[in-house]
Amino acid sequence: MTEKTYRKALNEALAQAMCASDKVYLIGEDIGVYGGGFDVVCGLIEQFGPERVREVPISESAIAGICVGSAIMGMRPVMELHFGDFITIAMDQIVNQAAKIHYMSNGNITLPMVIRAPFGTGTGAGAQHSQSLESWFTHIPGLVVIEPSNAYDAKGLLLAAIKEENPVIFFEHKMLYDEAMEVPDEKYLLPIGVADVKRTGSDVTIIATAQMVSKALLAAQRLALQGIAVEVVDPRTLIPLDKETLIDSVVKTGRVLIATEEVKTSGFGAEIAAMLAESRAFHSLKMPIKRLGAAFTPTPVAKMLENASIPQISDIILAVEQLIKDTKYITRKRYFTRSF
């Protein structure tokens, strides 16, 4: 085990996948000598050459189309978007082609391709370079959507994504690239569709994604000083979603806060909330489900305004405290009388 940043873990995963199979190749803008928009692919063109690290002109739709075509022919392309926001330019190729060809071919064609999408706030890059658009793709049957929250998960899930036979949208939060932890040097795979309990607790469940996992863990440490035991659950993959792990945690604690960086309105947090409300977890709830998400506004450039637009550690702490405080005002007898 060696301490590695999220960025280094991804770089190592790409190198190991390319060493394991000559069908794996990288494609994107500025991924050659420049090393990619966030330095994730640094050194790979020197190691594997320009045939396997394909630097191409600025046209996300064309790049995604190349990935679809080459995946149909048996290659395993890994596309890098300079910013995840630019995925909007390739929506036809992703949504109408990549996601549907396996189904429309009666299962005879597979699409083993990965689109790496750096996303999220924290860089002051403004409204067109800071969005969290993951919920868009969870609405499309045929796509796998992955959102790792730390370096260990990032490496294992990227390696698994490259082996996956379906197209994968792999979201990487930009503010996680420099976060480090111990990561095995050897190649390893993490199962797609399995959530991870990052911290156990008995009073409140926080279901968090991407950078919100780090914030939730810090909030949980501070809440522990008040005697509040918080359980933090990271779905890791949004599609397929490990519903049972989320449900089991909420059944245990009876209170749940869902924290994501995406705009709260119509975000994936709402899907998780609806899933819990329709499940056996509903009658374990001591309080209504609570959500935190970004404000319904384009992301500001000014740092103070950018921070104000998304949930912070203090917001998570306040929300959990409210869940605990308000429980005494709601009785199960009055509000939750039905049973399964």
pLDDT digits (tens, 9 = 90+) for 3-12: 999 999 999 9
Give pLDDT, residue 171: 98
Architecture of the domain made up of 2-183:
3-Layer(aba) Sandwich (3.40)
Kindly tell me if the per-residue pLDDT of 1 is higher than 90.
no
Over residues 306-315, the pLDDT tens digits come to: 999 999 999 9
Domains 2-183 and 196-332 share a fold: yes
Over residues 127-186, the pLDDT tens digits come to: 999 999 999 999 999 999 999 999 999 999 999 999 999 999 999 999 999 999 999 999
Q: Dig out the tokens for 228 from the structure.
A: 């509040």
Over residues 218-245, the pLDDT tens digits come to: 999 999 999 999 999 999 999 999 999 9
Domain boundaries, the chain: 2-183, 196-332
**Catalytic residue from among 82, 129, 139, 283:** 129
Kindly tell me if the per-residue pLDDT of 75 is higher than 80.
yes
Share of the chain above pLDDT 90, in %: 95
Mean pLDDT of 17-25: 98
CATH number assigned to the domain with residue range 196-332, chosen from the 4 options 3.30.460.80, 3.40.50.10090, 3.40.50.920, 1.10.645.10:
3.40.50.920
82 catalytic? Reply is no
Give pLDDT, residue 326: 74
Kindly tell me if the per-residue pLDDT of 64 is higher than 60.
yes
Average pLDDT of the chain is 95
Q: Which residues of 53-74 are buried (b: 16+ CB within 10 A; e: fewer)?
A: bbbbeeebeebbbbbbebbbee
